[in-house]
Amino acid sequence: MQKNNIHKTIYRWRLRHMSEQGVLLLLSVVVGLLAGLAAVGLKTLVGWSGRLVTSAFADGSSLVVGLLPMLGILLTMLFVKYIVRGDIGHGLPTVLLAISRAHSRLPAKNMYTSLIASTLTVAFGGSVGLEAPIASTGSAIGSNIGRFFHLNPKSVRLLLGCGAAGAIAGIFKAPIAGILFVFEVFLFDLTSTTVLPLLIASLSASMVSYFLMGTGVQFSFTVQESFALSQLPHYAVLGVFCAAVSLYFLRVTDRVEGWFNRRANPWLRMLFGGVALGVLVVVFPPLYGEGYHSLTELLHGNPGALFDGAPYENLAASPWALVAVLLALVMLKAVATAATIGAGGVGGTFGPSLVIGGLCGYLMATLNNLLGLPPQSTANFALVGMAAVMTGVMHAPFMATFLIAEITGGYALLVPLLTAASITYLCITPFERHSIYARKLAKHGDLLTHDKDASAWHLLNMKSLIENNFVIVRSGNSLRDLVEVIQTSRRNIFPVLTDDDKFLGVVVLDDVRKIIFRPELYDSVTVDELMHPLSEGDVVRATDSLTDVVQKFRISERYNLVVIDDNYNYMGFLSRANTFSAYRRFVSEASDE
């Protein structure tokens, strides 16, 4: 009771002394700070627990190392089943669904469950990334803070975006990338209303990360070799190659996760996935965990790190063995990631797309140099490959470009980054219109896009707009029966149904007025004689989209359309006025202006 009183006191004080925009700016700082703390906490916790695990089993056999990912997945499943006792969602797709369908409301438990679950998965070698869980956590922080202060749905949505932007900015110390992540992945509109809160949240999170973790960043690297215009064709080829790899990644993860989802028993999924992942990490050690360590070694000119602890370690000096290992890692990282998630692990594909991109770039530069073509920088190609594959997988060319530019401490590679990312994006979109996070939602019509008009008609629930206050009459009823119905009705249309509720047509009050005061006709005239059978243009089915409904309203110029199911059973009416009012409300709430 005391907690509720404090909550009400804060709410009343806020209403008296602060505007909605002022509250929003203040809370964007709070959300950014908390998201930054969560990002630092997750990276620190995973780093500490990962070192603890590897040191504890440092002298173990390959069999022991191979079993560690399965142990991590098992612990994750036990945490979800017995501590969370419920589904923790599917990362960023859950956030996108909340934005589209749930007024940006995320459960309070999402502020910590993904952090713990992803730590258990990755610390024991699960081949997934931490960025999606931390972005989901930041989103949940923003959503719950917005709801705590009773902000309107539009403001709650913006704070959700602030949490995600802060999380990405905090984990990479890249504030611009955090803002662009929300714009391209969460499909926010960058307007005068949204930019400032997102920027404040991103900067707040970055400051927290700098203060607690120092100035070093993930993949800390300074570009040593400058870009020359003559290299542009080589980066264009890299963009095409990365598009092909991105498509491969999307298709493989989809099919492997689909295979696991078809297994009904979760413990069998864990067993199959754990065994497959264990075999992969024993044969290819860089597949263990996030994979960032191996990628960092490549950027700093130490490709031999890919062979450390592998059965083929003695081949480290062979350049063609390096090519073979790089190609295998590019192909198998997708399998390892999907197997980890499908088996029950918690993590994302953000990190794996970065790793695969870096491997792709290094592979292309190594091949180029081995074939005697004009020499290219393996480090620069790896960085550009990271941005290109991330673009292909996440459909976020600007975020990918500026993320790499920010973590390298400059914009020396801006032209090749934009070139490769653009080419990858152009090549991938004919095959995959949506990002890895959004494609399933788009398939089911649950995705809010930048096109708010199209989204409104796809996301509005037609069944919620059906009006059922029309009084029905039955085929064979007399005029007397109809007159009695008219006395109790407030509408001037009366649907005519059979005894088994099949729709036949309508009776319009205007057609009855001329005989309604002639009692001698009450028992001789039937409803069927007064009924208007309606054409297909006046009838919609419950399975029709609202886009089809709007088209019928425009063509028929009617104010009401009858709704039936696929068996021609009557369900109610759709009103032109109510339908377009619901559309206007949706667009108003979804708009970021």
Give all domains of the chain, ordered by start, each with its CATH number. Answer: 2-213 (1.10.3080.10), 229-445 (1.10.3080.10), 456-590 (3.10.580.10)
Question: Cα–chain-centroid distance for residue 426?
Answer: 21
DSSP annotation of 83: I
Against a cut of 0.85, is the pTM above it?
no
Q: Which amino acid is residue 81, in one-letter code?
A: K
**Torsion sign, CA atoms 383, 384, 387, 393:** negative
User: Helix, strand, or coil here: 467?
Assistant: strand
Joined together, the tokens standing for residue 48 give 């500490």
DSSP annotation of 321: H
Query: Could you count the other beta carbons within 10 Å of the beta carbon of residue 482?
Result: 23
How far is it, in rounded angstroms, from Cα 404 to Cα 218? 10
Q: Which amino acid is residue 533, in one-letter code?
A: P
Contact 361, 376 (CB under 8 A): no
How far is it, in rounded angstroms, from Cα 86 to Cα 283? 35
| CA dist 207 → 44, 165, 175, 293 (Å) | 16, 13, 10, 24
Length of the chain: 593
* Strand 493-497 relative to strand 539-541, pairing: unpaired
Ranges of H-type helices in 149-188:
153-172, 175-184
How far is it, in rounded angstroms, from Cα 221 to Cα 240? 25
> pLDDT digit of tens for each residue in the chain (593 aa)?
555 566 666 666 666 666 777 888 899 999 999 999 999 999 889 989 988 888 877 666 677 788 899 999 999 999 998 888 877 766 788 888 888 777 788 988 989 999 999 999 999 999 999 999 999 999 999 999 998 888 888 889 899 999 999 999 999 988 999 999 998 888 777 777 888 999 999 999 999 998 888 766 566 666 777 778 888 999 999 999 999 999 999 999 999 998 998 888 989 999 999 999 999 999 999 999 888 888 988 988 899 999 988 888 898 889 999 999 999 999 999 999 999 999 999 998 999 999 999 999 999 999 999 998 888 889 899 999 999 999 999 999 999 999 998 887 667 888 999 999 999 999 999 999 888 888 777 676 656 555 555 555 555 667 778 888 888 888 888 888 888 888 888 888 888 888 888 888 888 888 788 788 888 888 888 888 888 887 777 788 877 777 777 777 777 777 888 888 878 888 888 888 787 777 777 666 655 55
Rg from Cα positions in the chain = 30
- E-assigned strand segments in 311-457: none
Following DSSP, what letter does each residue of 542-584 receive, concatenated? TTS-HHHHHHHHHHH--SEEEEE-TT-BEEEEEEHHHHHHHHH
Contact 394, 353 (CB under 8 A): yes
